[in-house]
Amino acid sequence: MNTEVLISELTFKGIRSSGPGGQHVNKTASKVEVAFNIENSQALSESEKNRLRQKLSSKITSENTLILQCGETRSQHQNKSIVIERLIALIEQNLKVAKPRKKSKPSKSAIEKRLKLKKQQALKKSNRKPPQIT
């Protein structure tokens, strides 16, 4: 993944934000919406695109566009930098390939310890029962 190319492919849109800011919120478009088209990206290889399509299937639109918004601060510039960081982190996180789990076997001492504790528990429970009168 080429981050610089990816950032150049982003499309930004300023929209009116809700939240703190008073009258300022009603006048300025401080909330930033970023759209990233996965399909037309030059920054990603085909395998990376497929991986993102699978992993982010619930977050992308039908046109394979990933859309994020940020309206945390009153500044459009700060919101823009925050949303870029989030997008890059989201893409990097979903491109990571998880290491396959290696099966492990419990040691002999661990098996013996488990069986010993099991026997103790069974003995404790059997001692709680009332004696059988025959």
Neighbours of 106 (CB within 10 A): 10
For 80, the 3-state DSSP assignment is helix
> Confidence class of residue 28 from pLDDT cuts 50, 70 and 90?
confident
What's the pTM value of the predicted model, to 2 decimals?
Answer: 0.68
Q: What is the dihedral of CA 80, 85, 87, 88, to 10 degrees?
A: 140
Q: Tell me: the pLDDT tens digits for 107-118?
A: 999 999 999 999
Q: Tell me: the pLDDT tens digits for 75-95?
A: 889 999 999 999 999 989 988
Q: Which domains occur in the chain, in start order?
A: 3-95 (3.30.160.20)
Count of alpha carbons within 13 angstroms of residue 109, beta-carbon side: 0
